[in-house]
Amino acid sequence: MAASYALALHGGAGTIAAGGDETPYHAGLAAALECGEAVLARGGSALDAVVATVAALEDCPLFNAGRGAVFCADARHELDAGVMDGQTLAAGAVAGVRTVRNPVRAALQVMRDGRCVLLAGEAADRMARANGVEIVEPSYFSTPARLAQLREVQARHGQTAVLDHDAAEARHAPHRFGTVGAVARDRHGHLAAATSTGGMTNKMPGRVGDTPIVGAGVYANDASCAVSCTGTGEHFIRACLAHDVHARMVYARQELAVAADEALAQSLAPLGGLGGLVSVGREGRVAMPFNSRGMYRAWVHEGEAGRTGIFR
């Protein structure tokens, strides 16, 4: 598949409720896919494509990233995002930002600045502002459904944090999403990955999951693959899951699909982890395994029509 592009994205994985109106979610996934594909179709980089894709998902209130993010226990939002460039292995991430409209763009600025990989809290908000990333009032991220979801979780579970996609019985948010992300291969053969999240409903303020951690929730290397993960973040961190897919390809010489499947089955599942990932290999093949009931996803190869999926 030389000189052709590929793009895949996810909008979260988990115990997704069946039987509702899936149309808006398919539309949101397709719109984000179109944003990223437009970059690749005009010869743009994989890095720019995944940032554009994830920014579109952050702007869609159906997903748990950016606008529509879940609330922490203190009824505020803390947003995390990470990006990685497979060509240079440069990476950037932010954690706990409160005023950046698109955290993935702040993560890109951290990567371009180069002084650190992960920047957190108010310092990340300040850096984003100083570099021209759009800033909004914290209320921008809030939606009535998410606030109702927080109150319901607090009433049912007290101080326990709940993964967004693992409380499917709650009437205020029958579909659950944990994270958004994208991976791409551009026409030059370079790979990139990006991941973004609003975290967990009712989580302890300051908690950071796998999303902004290189090798856990996001990883890209032109020698192997680009990976973006979604699921039970603490388990993905302990499994170093995104890097595990890369390692299986490089050291065990596994094909992408085998490496992705076995990483979930052999590294994540024994820890009790649930979720999935989207990945693209250096030849442009895509693998999107998950061990949860469903995963919101979309994918496209150059010259083919884009597709979306939720269940198996």
With 0-12 / 13-18 / 19 or more C-beta atoms within 10 angstroms meaning exposed / middle / buried, residue 140 is: middle
In angstroms, the Cα distances linking 225 to 8, 241, 255, 278, 284 are: 12, 13, 10, 10, 9
The whole-angstrom separation of Cα 299 and Cα 8 is: 4
Measured CA to CA in angstroms, residue 233 lies from 20, 117, 178, 230 at distances of 26, 19, 9, 7
The residues, any chain, with a CB within 8 Å of residue 235's CB and separated by 6 or more, are: 268, 271, 272, 273, 274, 275
Give the separation between CA 102 and CA 267, rounded to whole angstroms: 31
Q: Report the side by side order of strands in the sheet with 225-231.
A: 218-220, 225-231, 275-281, 286-287
Nearest-angstrom CA–CA distance, 214 and 237: 9
- Residue 114: Cβ within 10 Å count: 9
Question: CA–CA separation, 215 vs 200, rounded Å?
Answer: 20
Instruction: Enumerate the active-site residues.
Output: 179
Q: How far apart are CA 128 and CA 107, in angstroms?
A: 9
End-to-end Cα, the chain, rounded Å: 26
